[in-house]
Amino acid sequence: MDIIKRDGRTEQFNTEKIVNAIGKAFKEVDGVFDEWSREKAENIASYIKEKSESEDKSFSIDQIQNMVEDGLMRTKRKDVAKAYITYRYDRDRIRGNSTDKEIEEYLNGESETLNKENSNKNAILVTTQRDYLAGIASRDYASRKIFSKRVMDAHNEGIIHISDMDYAAQRALTNCELLNLEDMLQNSTVLNEVMIEKPHKFSTACNIATQIILGVTSSTYGGCTITLTHLAPFVRDSYNKAYKKYIDQGLDEELAERLANVDKLKDIEDGVQIFNYQINSQCNQNGQAPFLSVFMYLNETEEYREELALIIEEFLKQRILGYKNRKGVYVPPAFPKLLYVTQENNIKPGTEYWYLTELAAKCTASRMVPDYISEKKMLELKGYCYPCINKACA
């Protein structure tokens, strides 16, 4: 005889499987599965087999389990029947609860999907585990409460794909942003109920910018983009602060200007290094480094174009260098993604900022970044050139 499994497949009837299942119920109650108990279990298994053969039909798993329950209830051991029913209920609940199974697989390190689905996340970190566990619960809730059965059936069959279901239950979250650093840096902002005043030098602005980025990306999913133009005014602040310091010390203007320029370049170097270290060494509440893109567009500002060019140059130089990993080997950082805009004053040899495009090409050859955006084509297609979400963030 055959039995019909839950997925519709058939399997050869095996009385020993029934005997073993009943034996677990006896062990649960008595602590042992002795000869008397085995005899009762074998009698029930034989009865089910004979019934199937006499009626010349196959029974389903549920039908067989119902007959086991009835057989146990006809004995004096109602306590064992109760244990078997409880065991069956627990197995059905576990079998039907995909959320528990997914959590168990992940915590046991057996989930290949979660262990490898995001190279920017270390699946063993507490922050990452918290995010993944929340994602499992969110997917379960969204599949039952937010999306209709018709939509979920289409998703499960591969007809459509519901993106970011692991955040679907958290409806207050947004996906991918263009951060207005200019407003937050120039007019102050609030992080974790702490007022952050306007910075007065470039390196401080870089530090605050990374804190803003960390805070925003902890309350969202996907990527975010900033433009370096918003940091450019603080390069001039660094120069003015240094210049005033040297004038106050009694130095003449020429020497003060020269020393202030040296300090300015050092502050740019320090600020970009701070920015890169912070972005790559910190984890947001999603359990990963902020998924960030940086926009480099010289024509975005006229007043601070010289300062912006210095920042772009330093970002490219430091990306070419990379940073040291735990073994002290220079490696390319994962973030930020760099978006370099080509335009009339940097696209041809001999133009004012051609040296930046050459540096960008060198960076591409060694680090596979930046990505390039044509100002001409963007103006043609969009009407204006603006910071956009990098394709890797979408």
Answer yes or no: are the C-beta atoms of 199 and 234 closer than 8 Å: yes
Q: Once rounded to an integer, what is the mean pLDDT over residues 263-275?
A: 98
Q: Once rounded to an integer, what is the mean pLDDT over residues 239-260?
A: 98
Q: Once rounded to an integer, what is the mean pLDDT over residues 165-169?
A: 82
From 5-19, 147-161, 207-221, the region with the lowest mean pLDDT: 5-19
Supply the pLDDT for residue 55.
81
Supply the pLDDT for residue 98.
64
Closest of 224, 148, 188 to residue 394, by C-alpha: 224
Burial of residue 35 (CB within 10 Å: 0-12, 13-18, 19+) is exposed
Answer yes or no: are the C-beta atoms of 335 and 280 closer than 8 Å: yes
Distance CA(155)–CA(178), nearest Å, equals 30
Provide the token pair at 65: 């389990």
Tens of pLDDT along 37-59?
999 899 998 988 888 888 877 88
Q: Once rounded to an integer, what is the mean pLDDT over residues 31-41?
A: 89
User: Distance of CA 163 to CAs 195, 221, 250, 296, Å?
Assistant: 35, 11, 63, 29
Tens of pLDDT along 71-113?
888 888 889 988 888 877 776 655 556 677 777 776 777 666 6
Provide the token pair at 68: 């086991």
Tens of pLDDT along 190-226?
988 999 999 999 999 999 999 999 988 887 877 899 9
Closest of 353, 223, 345, 359 to residue 294, by C-alpha: 223
SS3 10: strand
Q: Are strands 330-331 and 323-324 parallel, antiparallel or unpaired?
A: antiparallel
Answer yes or no: are the C-beta atoms of 304 and 236 closer than 8 Å: yes
